[in-house]
Amino acid sequence: MHARNSFIFLISVICSIFLVSITGYSQDSDYRENQNSEQKTYQEQTWGIAIGGRTAVNIFDIGDSSVNSLVPLLFYEGERFYLDGLEGGFHFYSKKSWQASLLGRLRFFDIPEEYQNEYQGNTIDAGARLRYMINSDTHLDFEILSDQFANAHANIKVSHRFEKGDFEFIPYFNLRFTSSSFNDRYYALEWLGNEGIDGGADYQAGADIKYHLVSNLYLLGALSFRWLGSSVSQAEAVTSNWEAEAFAGVGFFNDNREKRRSDISLKPYLRLSYGWAT
């Protein structure tokens, strides 16, 4: 139940930010004032909404061999605020090839559902990222993140974006450093016993895929593999050296065949929304 509540809370926050960002009057919007009119001119923002199914290998000696879930995703790119699937944040520094951001990201903990309800599996990591943009399509990221229990990890990730016609392909490689407390909670399964394992490093390779079908409709896909470090793979609860996950879904985005509108004239307004979920 805790995992489900955390997921609902994250989606509620993301939806609220998304609605205010795209419809509200915000400094995040790129606009210029029309000197001859009371209206202001805004640049069209990048946006998207998607849903799909995710499946992951259960590497533990409990429950079924795989874990499945239905995942909603939101996308928005403003001058400062952004949403990128299960991640959202704020760019507080951008200059030339460098960008610094504060972010939050939902991380899946792939144990059987009955244990997720007891143990609060899926969690929200918060932290900071420094990005070096080698060019417009190639990025090098440095991240430091922690969950709500101060279990920290760090990432060094490189990604490159390929685009041809209706097809977009983004392969990436990520080196992750994990603390001993992180490994104790998410790999030694500390709630099942008193085993403690050291911190370490693991390696992940994967790709995100997007294919334009028609108008604003897209097909989405993702696949990744992670090789676990020696300290994690030797944990009593772990039965495999590899983690793997796949995602497939559909989404609605800006039509990449249409010429992006450089400005949209409208009077500023503020829209508030409220929702409640149990």
Amino acid making up residue 18: F
- Beta bridge pairs of residue 221: 209, 248
For 271, other C-beta atoms within 10 Å of its C-beta total 10
The predicted structure's pLDDT at residue 42 = 52
Considering the domain boundaries, does residue 142 fall inside one?
Answer: yes
The predicted structure's pLDDT at residue 34 = 44
The count of structural domains within the chain is 1
Name the nearest CA neighbour of 117 among 5, 6, 1.
Answer: 1
Distance CA 252, CA 258 (A): 14
Considering the domain boundaries, does residue 136 fall inside one?
Answer: yes
- pLDDT range class, residue 268, cuts 50, 70, 90: low
More confident site: 235 or 144: 144
Confirm if 218 and 256 have CB atoms less than 8 A apart: no
Confirm if 205 and 172 have CB atoms less than 8 A apart: yes
Only one residue has tokens 């995703």, namely 73
Query: How high does pLDDT run on average in the chain?
Result: 82
Considering the domain boundaries, does residue 118 fall inside one?
Answer: yes
Confirm if 82 and 94 have CB atoms less than 8 A apart: no
Considering the domain boundaries, does residue 271 fall inside one?
Answer: no
Distance CA 233, CA 183 (A): 10
More confident site: 27 or 190: 190
The predicted structure's pLDDT at residue 12 = 52
Q: Where are the beta strands (DSSP E) in the chain?
A: 31-33, 40-42, 46-57, 66-77, 81-85, 87-95, 98-107, 123-133, 138-146, 152-160, 162-164, 167-178, 200-214, 217-227, 242-253, 264-266
Q: CATH code at 118?
A: 2.40.230
Region 5-25: what's the mean pLDDT? 47
Considering the domain boundaries, does residue 165 fall inside one?
Answer: yes
CA distances 29 to 16, 22, 266, Å, are: 16, 8, 12
The predicted structure's pLDDT at residue 260 = 52
The predicted structure's pLDDT at residue 207 = 98
Considering the domain boundaries, does residue 205 fall inside one?
Answer: yes
Least confident of 124-133, 151-160, 195-204: 195-204
* Total-model pTM: 0.78
Considering the domain boundaries, does residue 181 fall inside one?
Answer: yes
Enclosing domain of residue 117: 2-266
Considering the domain boundaries, does residue 218 fall inside one?
Answer: yes
Dihedral angle over CA of 140, 146, 147, 152, nearest 10 = 110
